[in-house]
Amino acid sequence: MRRWPYGLVAVIAGVLLASQGRINGQLGSRLHDGVVGGLISTALGFVVLVTSVMCTPVGRRGAGRMVVALRKRELRWWECLGGCVGAYFIVTQGLAITALGVAVFTVATISGQLVSGLFVDRAGLGPGGPQPITRWRVIGAALAVGAVTLAVQEQFVRPQSVALFLLPAVAGFGMAWQSAVNGRVKDASGNAVVAAAVNFSAASSTLLIFAVVDVALRGWPVDFPGEWWLYAGGAFGIVVIGISAAAVRAVGVLVLSLCLVSGQLLGALMLDVFVPARSAQLSFTEVLGVVITLFAAVVAALPVRAASDKMTA
């Protein structure tokens, strides 16, 4: 019961994550360049976070504690690279979300999150230590994979749609690891804002490398949209990363992923129903896939009631 507030705010973060996907997807579509669009969104968030860390005493103290933890190897350098996964995820938003729709994109991401969350928790990569693999978690992950297949079955007739679907699925697989290592950075610094700044630093650096190659091959986008809200994706990302880093110790990587999943699914459905971004209508199989995925999240979150319910890896 003490963990439910963390789960509730994680659900809210999931809604924001779905909204961020729509914003970044539309920016990438308007620019005809998902990489540059992702860099703009992330860089703005990075500037806000670094300013917050440098201009506040608590932020500077947190950054100092993180540096000390790195020197003592209490925090490993690779645990500061969670933002690289975020960079890839942002690029996939710009490339795929307008074509697939938020619901299908989200279900693809979730399948990777649920499967990888099992192994990340089992390996103890998060700050909460190792978590057992239970039969309910395995059943939940299997249901999620089945729901994904159902949700995208109509896409199989178009090979290009299947290729686009694989992009967020791979991103989702890495997001559980990202939540785990961001939680370790938060523990080392004692500050969720510092953890978010480190995440955005790695993401911005990765996206800058991608953007340099992209611009060299395709040129700089000519027409930048005038709507200010299309550049607000980074602000949503700040809140999502901050909440995830703060909540992962309390609830574990898998349950955090499940709470984010619930918010993502609710937000994705609302966006595709009320503010559709593609010409095709939301199909019944896509809605059913979302419902089954949400049920899978509930199943995977069921508590362990007996030692016999645990499964060894």
For the chain (length 313 residues), average pLDDT per consecutive 10?
74 85 83 84 89 92 94 92 89 75 74 76 67 75 73 60 76 84 90 91 92 88 85 85 79 73 78 66 70 74 50 44
Distance CA 72, CA 50 (A): 24
Residue 107 confidence (pLDDT): 74
CA distance 285 to 289: 6
pLDDT at 307 (0 to 100): 37
Bridge partners (DSSP) of residue 133 are: 311
**Alpha-carbon gap, residue 190 to 183, rounded angstroms:** 10
Specify whether the CB–CB gap between 75 and 69 falls below 8 A: yes
Sign of the CA dihedral with 7 first, then 9, 65, and 67 last: positive
Q: φ and ψ at 156, to 5 degrees? A: -65, -20
> Can you give the pLDDT at residue 301?
66
* Residues paired with 134 in a beta bridge: 310
- Note the pLDDT of residue 282: 63
Query: Residue 158: its pLDDT value, please?
Result: 60
pLDDT for the residue numbered 277: 61
